[in-house]
């Protein structure tokens, strides 16, 4: 993993907390499952938009470790939707040069889903147009804690070597997050990519995830590019 001072030519890492599916459904007198299905459909649209907009890495918060506390039927729906996406969209990812990765724990996921993850990751490994990552059974605190328990074995003690161990724990590594978007109106990180987002620009929108469009993503990227990222330096010095 690179440090926070990314080369200017490196493409952006955008992370999204896809919030608001349930409230989207409730506002339409629909079951929460309908909101999750609408949100899953919107993933395809946003991935296509990220490709067009030149995003290098897109990490989507699909299922947090805290989400196991939801009703079993809702958890089952979320797992099925992810499984369906892997089965139906892997070929499209291959055609468009999209590499698929799943970060987070896998020991609590259904065996069939783990098999589908491994197949999709292997099939899309050569993709270079976009690195699409889904965070599933993911907790940043838990990942950092598990990495810390392994870290004493590292021969090089540095932030970079710790990031490498963290990547092992997550099953995948990526550059630091440049822009973190949260839909649905809430303004918190919810245990998402805490290490990787240390210098991320934060963008919150009231738009519910099923309604988040290509135009919304473009607007978030435009605001990101209008901000000055100083990394602790004085204003005007970050670009020097």
The total of other beta-carbon atoms located within 10 Å of residue 132's CB is 25
Cα 29 to the center of its chain, rounded Å: 29
Tell me how far apart the alpha carbons of residues 124 and 90 are, in angstroms, rounded to a whole number.
Answer: 7
Q: What are phi and psi of 184, to 5 degrees?
A: 90, 0
- Residue 220: strand, helix, or coil: helix
Q: Which residues neighbour 101 within 8 Å (Cβ) at sequence distance 6 or greater? A: 121, 131, 132, 133, 134, 171, 172
Active site residues: 19, 67
Residue 54 has which token pair? 């030149």
Residue 181 has which token pair? 């978007």
Could you say which DSSP state residue 66 is in? G
Instruction: Identify whether the C-beta of residue 46 lies closer than 8 Å to the C-beta of residue 212.
Output: yes
43-52 burial, b at 16+ Cβ within 10 Å, e below that, comes to beebbebbbe
Tell me how far apart the alpha carbons of residues 204 and 184 are, in angstroms, rounded to a whole number.
Answer: 8
């Amino acid at each position: 993993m690179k440090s926070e001072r990314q080369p200017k030519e490196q493409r952006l890492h955008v992370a999204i907390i896809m919030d608001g599916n349930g409230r989207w459904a409730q506002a339409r007198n629909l079951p929460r499952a309908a909101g999750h299905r609408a949100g899953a459909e919107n993933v395809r649209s946003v991935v296509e938009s990220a490709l067009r907009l030149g995003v290098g890495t897109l990490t989507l918060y699909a299922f947090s470790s805290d989400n196991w506390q939801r009703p079993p039927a809702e958890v089952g729906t979320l797992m099925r939707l992810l499984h369906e996406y892997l089965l139906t969209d892997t070929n499209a990812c291959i055609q468009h040069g999209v590499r698929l990765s799943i970060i987070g724990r896998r020991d609590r996921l259904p065996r069939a889903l783990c098999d589908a993850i491994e197949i999709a990751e292997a099939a899309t490994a050569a993709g270079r147009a976009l690195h699409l990552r889904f965070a599933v059974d993911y907790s940043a605190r838990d990942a950092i804690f598990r990495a810390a328990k392994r870290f004493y074995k590292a021969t090089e003690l540095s932030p970079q070597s710790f990031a490498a161990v963290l990547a092992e724990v997550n099953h995948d590594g990526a550059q630091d997050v440049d822009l973190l978007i949260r839909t649905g109106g809430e303004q918190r990180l919810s245990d998402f990519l805490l290490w990787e987002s240390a210098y991320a620009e934060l963008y919150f929108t009231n738009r519910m995830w099923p309604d988040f469009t290509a135009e919304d993503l473009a607007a978030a990227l435009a605001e990101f590019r209008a901000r000055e990222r100083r990394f602790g330096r004085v204003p005007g010095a970050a670009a020097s």
